[in-house]
Amino acid sequence: MRCRLLFVSLAALFALALSSAPARATGWTLADERRMAADAASYAPPEFKRQLAKHSRRLMQGVSDASAGEIGTRDAAAHRAAAARGARALAESIRRHTPFDEIAYQAGGIVHELAMAIQPGAAPTADTSSVARFLGFSAEPFAAPEKLAAAALPSGTPRECYDASVTLTTRLLAWIWKTAGGDASSVAQYPLSKGPYAVRE
């Protein structure tokens, strides 16, 4: 029954991601970033995934607010560094028992940072995210978040950029949960060597 409820919650999370949102002039739209948030949660450690689904509106609000505050003057390296800093701060917040609606909100900011770090060179099509894939966890899934966020992944096409953003976000979510003291043993089920893994069947 718990698995069924989690599936329903994630379905609701993805539906929320698809809700109407204003588009940016270039790069990812806000709707794209919201989908990334839902997709990145798919392969997060189960308990973290459950909490993100439970607080999905706050997760999406965090994405929206980070996007609205984006001024577009930082380069990709700066966005990756910001995502790593956010991961460290979020792990500490969880250890301090910060309410999870705030945790979910801050996670949305990490989603945005990695979306901005891996921008498509060409305009993404409407179905870019429809076959989204999680590429898998690296051989050092709990390395420093700066190393995880800086990983080079294929990004030659909009689809590859989307998958790369989702993958790096998921890897940071796993690091956050592990560092905060949670069970992240599920990462062993999805190694990079056996990926990619479909986000939606």
Residue pLDDT, tens place only, 141-179: 999 999 999 999 999 999 999 999 999 999 999 999 999
Full domain range(s) for residue 156: 2-198
pLDDT at 181 over 90: yes
Cα 124 versus chain centre, distance: 18
Torsion angles phi and psi, residue 133, rounded to 5: -135, 145
What distance in Å separates the CA atoms of residue 75 and residue 104, rounded to the nearest whole number? 25
Rg of the chain (C-alpha set): 15
10-32: pLDDT as tens digits:
545 544 554 444 444 458 999 99
pLDDT at 127 over 90: no
| pLDDT > 70 fraction of the chain, expressed in percent and rounded | 87
What is the count of structural domains for the chain?
1
In this structure, how many other beta carbons lie within 10 angstroms of the beta carbon of residue 134? 23
In this structure, how many other beta carbons lie within 10 angstroms of the beta carbon of residue 99? 11
Q: For 86-97, what is the mean pLDDT?
A: 98
What distance in Å separates the CA atoms of residue 64 and residue 12, rounded to the nearest whole number? 17
Q: Which residue has the tokens 């995502």?
A: 83
Answer for the pair 78, 116: CB distance below 8 angstroms, yes or no: no
At 122, is the pLDDT very low, low, confident or very high (cuts 50, 70, 90)?
Answer: confident
pLDDT at residue 13 in the model: 52
36-59: pLDDT as tens digits:
999 999 999 999 999 999 999 999
Closest by CA position to 94, among listed 174, 8, 188 = 174
pLDDT at residue 201 in the model: 64
pLDDT at residue 128 in the model: 82
Residues 6+ apart with CB under 8 A from 30: 21, 22, 23, 24, 63, 64, 67
